[in-house]
Structure 1
Amino acid sequence: MKGENFLFGRYKFIEAIKTALEGYPPRDERCKSANWIGVHKALMAIKDVEGMLRSLDPQYYDILMKYIYRGLSTGNRTTCDQCLKIHEKLTEKAGFGCILRSLADTVNTV
């Protein structure tokens, strides 16, 4: 994620998430790992989930849902709690199709 450190340094977590989503799918495993680290860090810092979702282009909802499921797969309680909170709001905004599309796409993983 180019500029990730700058964005985190300025507490612009929503912009960091947008940057990662715009760079999807990552080119290789190293980029995929770097994107996950950045998205995870930003997701954990988000306080206004609804505001974040309003600021995102709907075309990125499915990709965000993939990152949410990756966060849930960590088993870390704090990460899972935050991901479930975001999952609920994202599902309300994007509908159940977002869940199905993110789970069905096994080619472009995060």
Structure 2
Amino acid sequence: MAEAEKFMGSDNVEDILTKIENKSLKIESLIKQYKPIEAIKTALEGYPPQDERCKFANWIGVRKALMAIKDVEGILRSLNPQYYDILMKYVYRGLSTGDRTTCDQCLKIHEKLTEKAGFGCILRSLADTVNTI
């Protein structure tokens, strides 16, 4: 979670966008290396600040990682439970896009994540209005 500290430690939006872009490149590299577990972990690290450009830039990297998931159950087994609520927030972000491919993938993840983490995961992700994505 050191990445979260990096985002919060800088007030300059351009610096934060550069860090998010570097993170996105790392995600792409991990996907190309067939390491989806590492890609999703990297994607879920750190909340971007409340600036909308930062949120959108971060979403692009997370979406790439989400779309690369083939074995949802395997990914969830490998993820630390601390990431479940964050993942659920991004699943809802993906569902809000209206893009059919993204929504289909997010629904698959939502089903398996709810089975694994329970309904509390849904409630916590919807109720958290401080850490929005």
TM-score (norm: length of structure 2): 0.75
Q: Taking structure 1 as reference, are residues 31 and 17 closer, same or farther at Cα in structure 2, changes over 3 Å only?
A: farther
**Matching of residue 93 in structure 1 with residue 116 in structure 2:** yes
Q: Is the 8 A contact 1:50 1:89 kept in 2?
A: yes
Q: Distance in 2 between matches of 1:59 and 1:7?
A: 21
**Within 5 A, what are the aligned runs for 1:1-110?**
1=20, 2=23, 3-23=26-46, 25-27=47-49, 28-110=51-133
What do you get for the CA RMSD once the two structures are aligned? 1.4
Q: Distance in 1 between matches of 2:129 and 2:56?
A: 17
Q: Which runs of 5+ in 2 are unaligned?
A: 1-19
Deviation readout 1:48-68 (Å, 9 max, x if unpaired): 000000110001100000000
Number of corresponding residues = 109
Bigger mean CA deviation after superposition, 65-74 or 100-109: 100-109
Taking every aligned residue pair, what percent have the same amino acid on both sides?
83
Greater C-alpha Rg:
2
TM-score (norm: length of structure 1): 0.89
Q: Which runs of 5+ in 1 are unaligned?
A: none
